[in-house]
Amino acid sequence: MLFPVRAQQKSYRLAVLELGEPSAPSGEMGAFMGELARLGFVEGSNLVVERRYAKSDVAQLEPLAAELVALGPDVIFSAGGTITVRAVKKATQTIPVVFDAAFDPVGRGLVADLARPGGNLTGTAMFVITIEHKRIQLLSEVVGRATSMGYLDLQKIRDERRHPLEETFASLGPQGGARLEFFDAGLKALPAMIEDIARRKLALVVATSPLTSANQERICELVVKHRLPGIADGRRFAENGMLLTYSTDFVELYKRGADYVTRILRGAKPADLPIEHASRYEFVVNLKTAKTLGIRIPQSLLVFADSVIS
């Protein structure tokens, strides 16, 4: 008796390079893998995933990217904004790459055009400056115009970023000499910077950047310790004790990334897949933190919030 021979299911290889540490299954990468599975690519079934983590050490990105490229994956997913995809771009000009949340991908030389990227890269982009202006405005509504703010990043803040933020703060009509100060001494100096911000009684604005995102747990630990009112980019900050977050919906961005990975595995070319801009934003208020800090959140902001943590 002859039995029909089943065709063996093809297995694909996906490489993932992350700037930070392994993330929780419920986070953005969890959403990314879940969307891949929903679209028919299941790790352990028809998908092999090779992961590498730089653990916030930017110097490790290029060697890790080269290591992944040497494995010959079908596609690479770059998680960590512009700084991470640059390392991948340097390692390969042929393997398809999907990147997440890059800032100004044309201006930064990642792709030739938003509508038709050309080359082997495509992905999602975000408007960093616009969203940071809104963040300063929201925090001012909570802490008042007489409170100075400290703007924190873990990489050097360029003048092209400082000046528009200073103009935004000035447009809010600060009172009593309130001003916006900048802190960018790097990861090793983070505890001292947060302590200095607390000593000066500043409200905290956490910059949108791959390094702040990769170190959100450590930042929140220090913010809670020093009882700082602050706002940041990414819901996880609020879940870990930050007073406010106003951010791109990163879960949605990562799902879009999974959709692009799927299309490429099914034969699409990155050169033909347009860069998608973030279009959904999320405002989260941590009422538990507000009560701890003795801050009353205006009702107008609570109505505006997409989510309230209590």
Sequence ranges of the domains in the chain: 12-126+250-279, 128-248+282-309
Q: Strand 307-309's sheet: what is its strand order?
A: 180-183, 149-152, 203-206, 230-232, 244-248, 281-286, 307-309
What average pLDDT does this structure show over 112-139?
Answer: 91
pLDDT at 7: 47
The rounded mean pLDDT for the chain is 92
Q: In this prediction, what percent of the chain has a pLDDT beyond 90?
A: 79
What pLDDT, on the 0 to 100 scale, is given for residue 118?
93
155 phi, psi to nearest 5 deg: -140, 165
Cα 38 vs. chain centroid, distance in angstroms?
A: 23
- How many whole angstroms separate alpha carbon 161 and alpha carbon 170? 15
Tell me, what's the pLDDT at 50? 97
Residue 280: pLDDT above 60?
Answer: yes
Structure tokens at 134: 């809104």
* pLDDT, tens digit (0-9, with 9 covering 90-100), for 135-146: 999 999 999 999
Q: Do domains 12-126+250-279 and 128-248+282-309 have the same CATH topology?
A: yes
At 24 the pLDDT is 62
**CB contact at 8 A, 287 and 310:** yes
- pLDDT for 158 equals 84
Q: What is the pTM of this model?
A: 0.83
127 pLDDT higher than 80: no
pLDDT of residue 1: 43
Helical residues (DSSP H) of 92-246, grouped into ranges: 128-143, 159-171, 190-199, 210-214, 216-225, 235-239
Q: Which pLDDT band, with edges at 50, 70 and 90, does 5 fall under? A: very low
Tell me 154's DSSP state.
S
Give the burial string for 243-262 (b: 16+ CB within 10 Å, else e): bbbbbbbbbbbbbbbbbbbb
pLDDT band at 25 (very low <50, low <70, confident <90, very high): low
Domain 12-126+250-279 has CATH 3.40.50.2300: yes
The answer to whether residue 246 scores a pLDDT higher than 70 is yes
Does 279 have pLDDT greater than 90?
no
pLDDT at 2: 45
Whether the pLDDT of residue 96 is over 90: the answer is: yes
Q: Is 23:30 a contact under the CB 8 Å cutoff?
A: yes
Residue 306 has what pLDDT?
Answer: 94
**Residues 128-248+282-309, CATH architecture:** 3-Layer(aba) Sandwich (3.40)
